[in-house]
Amino acid sequence: MKSIRPILGYTAAALTVLAAVLTPFVLIGLFTRGVAATGVSVDPVYTGGKVSHTVVRQNYQVVVHSPVSPRGPLQRGAPYVQLVWQPATALPPRVSDEIDLTDDRQADLRVTFDVPRDPKAELRVDVEPLTALVQPLRRVGKESLSSLIARVGDTIVVRVPLR
């Protein structure tokens, strides 16, 4: 009997460690479904809002999102619209696109930026308003949540502040 007790103790300890390691993997599906069922979603201020329309170019496309306005005391910044160029690998070395934000077939702004082949290189964007809808940007990088350009995976995201 005495020789069995240490074996049972080590076995119980090993099973406890195994259960502790496997429990998160078993419960993650249940937890994910439970959170999804609550209807909780990421705030559009952080995701860029819903997709409004897509502008198709020869080798790439520009996804235009609906305008986003920060709400509440914790969210600062100007209202903005998010534009996403994809895929970044298909973009020319210099992008200069006129974009219609309101889908009325009249360009609202001209966005210009260089596309370095190094994905870690710093990006800068210029935005020239063609209507009174947006604010101009000159050599903007990642200054704020509502005025920025960033490479995210194989896309280039530009956020333009609205007037």
pTM, whole model, 2 decimals? Answer: 0.76
126 burial type by CB count under 10 A (0-12 exposed, 13-18 middle, 19+ buried): middle
**How many helical (H) and strand (E) elements, i.e. helices and strands, does the chain have?**
2, 9
pLDDT of residue 22: 85
Residues 6 and 85 in one domain: no
Q: Can you tell me which residue has the tokens 């170019």?
A: 57
**Is 85 within 8 Å of 153 (Cβ atoms)?**
no
Residues 33 and 63 in one domain: no
Q: Would the pLDDT of 29 be above 60?
A: yes
Residues 16 and 82 in one domain: no
Dihedral of alpha carbons 15, 20, 26, 30, sign: positive
Residues 113 and 132 in one domain: yes
Q: pLDDT tens digits for 122-159?
A: 999 999 999 999 999 999 999 888 899 999 999 999 99
Q: Both tokens of residue 66?
A: 């609906």
> What is the three-class DSSP state of 111?
strand
Query: In terms of residue numbers, what domain contains 137?
Result: 44-161
Residues 17 and 59 in one domain: no
- Lowest mean per-residue pLDDT among 17-21, 28-32, 84-88: 28-32
Which has more pLDDT, 42 or 53? 53
Which has more pLDDT, 49 or 86? 86
Q: Can you tell me which residue has the tokens 């509502």?
A: 146
Residues 67 and 122 in one domain: yes
Q: Return d(Cα 103, Cα 48) in angstroms, integer.
A: 18
**Is 98 within 8 Å of 110 (Cβ atoms)?**
yes
Confidence of residue 75 (pLDDT cuts 50, 70, 90): low
Q: What is the number of structural domains in the chain?
A: 2
The β-bridge relationship of strands 80-86 and 94-99 is unpaired
pLDDT of residue 72: 67
Residues 19 and 32 in one domain: yes
